[in-house]
Each structure stands twice: as structure tokens, then as C-alpha cells.
Amino acid sequence: MAFNFDQWIDRSHSDSVKWDKYHDRDIIPLWVADTDFQSPPAVIEALHQRVDHGVFGYGRPSPTLIALFVQRMAERYQWHIRPEWLIFLPGLVCGLNLCVRAFTAEDEGTIAPSPIYPPFRKAAQFAERNQLSVPMRLQNQRWLPDLPAIAAQLDGREKLLLLCNPHNPGGTVYRRDELLALQQFAQQHNLIVCSDEIHCDLLLEPGLQHMPFAALNEDAAQRSVTLMSPSKTFNIAGLGASMAIVPNEQLRRMLCRTRRGLVPEVDVLALVAAQAAYQHGQPWLDQQLDYLRANRDLVMTRINTLPGLHLAPIEATYLAWIDCSGLPVDNPHAFFEQAGVGLSPGLDFGDRRFVRLNFGCQRALLIRALERIERAVRALPG
């Protein structure tokens, strides 16, 4: 079955965070990380059936959903997890916040790469925990953390290392040796590792394989919490269904204790959508990845021909981390917004010289946005 990712879906009257931001302005929204594609037909059909049932009381993950997820981890990543390791959450961001609060005391700190997805930074701020930033640097055109750069700043009070794999922003897919180096760092400093792997299904570079941090070896498994979700993969983020995989029983108890009375169970419709996505969504996902690869290649080509801009290769995600430091502008985000393209400001991630562009959209819309970017950049004084 062929799926039409060029189909235009009007989101302007759907209470969309992404589209409502600029509802009264001629600005193309390519910022927050959801796509403009309809979810897989199997997901939509399953939701219709559940709505037709008409009763929406409290629910729980079905044995089928749990078995599908366990099987998926084994088949895709050779990671053999147990059902009792799973904690279902109504979103991945609450998992980040729970980890910070569960595994650090008030006088203890966290470590996270920078730039990074803003909720990593906010989770530490909300809990009033110190966060030490590991600079992400371009190494052979890949964004990687420079662990030696922070060695002198460690004081022994750091308890939690936050990872994002694939990395957001930047799109790096960590290789096994790179994950082993991170594990060695965690061992050396006695750190628990929270690994956000929400984009693990969105690998764009042929030949790459995602490896969960916890799948490295037993030590990695026992010191880690892995966060995953079908939300980005199948564009069901607004429903909210995520999983924390916690092999260590003590860490699992700590996480559940911190959650009590604060974080609700997953919505019944979200569970239905997740099960349908994992059970029947792979053909749709395969075609979406082909479409996203073509969008990525278009963005790479167009951006890297413009003076003052640079975009490193994107191995995964549908997000482009664009270096604007060569432009004669103080605020790249405001500059492109004035040009009619709404991007995510790099300052939110930790570097104001950058912007993040979401290319998970219809190609015709992406081309219009890239044309506006090009006109604005070429109109700048040389």
C-alpha cells in the first residue's frame, strides 16, 4: 500500500501548538517536533473502533502491547527486555523530570550534553538541581560530546548523566564505541544514566543501526533508565504514550515512588494508538523514512549553498541543526521569523548562533520555506 506524504492536511484549526503560534501571520511553522503527516491508517482505524465503543474509563497497557514492545526491542536492537522492566508514562518529558527528582538530592547535580533538547535543561531547573554541560563538538562532521572538557569541573556530587540518542538537535546516532566511552565515564563517576531514545526509529542514514545504551552490557543495563515512545515515529505525540525501561529493580522502585500521586497513568486512547502503531505501522514508517530522507537531502543541499550557513550531516530525526554564526545578524531566529519561517531558537537548546528546522512536513511547504530562507540570506549585505 502506498501512503501519500504529499497530502496537505490543514492544521490551522486543530488547536495545534505548532500551527497556532503563527495563526495570524504569514510565517511557515517549522519549529516544534511533530510532523504534518497523517498518522498510519491502522492507528486511525483503531482509534475509531475504540471511540465507537463509547466508554473511556481507566485503562492499562494490554498484554498485546507489552508483548509487541518486548518483541520489537529483541528484533530491532537485539535487546532482550522483560515485561516487568516497563513503566508506562503519559509522555517522555515527564520521564526526564522523574529521573532528575528520583536520582538526585537537592545538593547533587546532573550532567547533560549541550546543546540539547530544552526539557533536559528545564528538568534540572524545575527540580533546582545543578546541571553541568558537556559541550557537543563537530568531529568528522558529527556532533559528539567532549567529555574531557568537563573533567576538571566534576566535584563528586554529580549523580545523573542525561543522554539523547539519537541526539536532538544534531541527529547523531551514537556508535557502539561512543556509547562504551559514555558508559566508562558513568562507571568512573558512579553515575546513573537516563537515555532519551525517542527518535530511535527515525534513522535516515542507510546502514546505521540504533543501539540502546542499556543493551551494551549488564553494567549499562543496571545503571540506566531508557525512555522510548512511538510518538515521534508515528506522529501521535499529542496522545502521550511512552515507556521507561528500567532493568534495575531498585531504580525502578525509586522512579515509581517519585511518580506516585504526580504523574497519571497513560490515556486509554494513547494505549490503543501505540498498540496499533507497533502492530501494523511498519509499512507506513518505511515509506515515511524514504520521504524524510528526500526532505533531509533537499535541506542539506539548499542550506549548504547559502553564505553564512552550515548544516552538518543528519543521521537521524527530522530536525536540522543549522549553524548561523556566519550571518551578520544578532538573532538568527528573529531574522528568519521576519523572513516568514518559524524555526526553533538555538538559545533554547544552549546556543543562540543556531536554529533548528523541522523538515517533517509536505515537500511543497518545505520548498516554500527554503525559498524564503534563501531570499532573506542573499539579501543580506555581503
Summarised one tens digit per residue, pLDDT across range 343-359 is 999 999 999 999 999 99
Mean pLDDT over the full length of the chain: 97
Give dist(CA 127, CA 190) in Å, integer.
21
Q: In this structure, how many other beta carbons lie within 10 angstroms of the beta carbon of residue 52?
A: 7
Give dist(CA 124, CA 160) in Å, integer.
10
User: In the chain, what are the domain boundaries?
Assistant: 17-41+282-377, 57-280
Summarised one tens digit per residue, pLDDT across range 28-42 is 999 999 999 999 999
Summarised one tens digit per residue, pLDDT across range 142-160 is 999 999 999 999 999 999 9
* Cβ atoms of residues 116 and 349 within 8 Å: yes
Confidence of residue 367 (pLDDT cuts 50, 70, 90): very high
Put simply, whether the predicted model's pTM sits higher than 0.95 gets the answer: yes
pLDDT at 132: 98
pLDDT at 1: 87
Closest to 230 (Cα-Cα) out of 20, 34, 7? 34
Phi, psi of 313 (to 5 degrees): -55, 140
Give dist(CA 312, CA 297) in Å, integer.
11
CA atoms within a 13 Å half-sphere pointing along the CA-CB vector of 26: 3
Segment 284-299 shows an average pLDDT of: 98
**3-state DSSP assignment of residue 106:** coil
Length of the chain in residues, anyone?
382
CATH code given to domain 17-41+282-377: 3.90.1150.10
Residue 78 CA, distance from chain mean position = 22
Residue 26 amino acid letter? D
Summarised one tens digit per residue, pLDDT across range 45-72 is 999 999 999 999 999 999 999 999 999 9
Give dist(CA 241, CA 239) in Å, integer.
7
pLDDT at 275: 98
Give dist(CA 334, CA 75) in Å, integer.
45
Axis crossing angle, helix 268-280 with helix 63-77, rounded to the nearest 10:
40
The vertex-259 CA angle with 258 and 262, nearest 5°, equals 115
Summarised one tens digit per residue, pLDDT across range 226-257 is 999 999 999 999 999 999 999 999 999 999 99
Residues of the chain with pLDDT > 70, as a percent, come to 100
5 contact partners, CB below 8 Å, separation of at least 6: 37, 287, 288, 291, 362
Summarised one tens digit per residue, pLDDT across range 157-208 is 999 999 999 999 999 999 999 999 999 999 999 999 999 999 999 999 999 9
- Res. 285: pLDDT tops 80: yes
* Cβ atoms of residues 77 and 228 within 8 Å: no
Summarised one tens digit per residue, pLDDT across range 73-115 is 999 999 999 999 999 999 999 999 999 999 999 999 999 999 9
Closest to 105 (Cα-Cα) out of 133, 123, 128, 134? 128
The vertex-327 CA angle with 325 and 329, nearest 5°, equals 100
pLDDT at 382: 74
Of the candidate CATH numbers 3.30.300.210, 3.40.640.10, 3.30.70.1290, 3.40.50.280, the domain formed by 57-280 belongs to: 3.40.640.10
Give dist(CA 121, CA 362) in Å, integer.
31
Give dist(CA 171, CA 203) in Å, integer.
9
pLDDT at 6: 98
Residue 23 amino acid letter? H
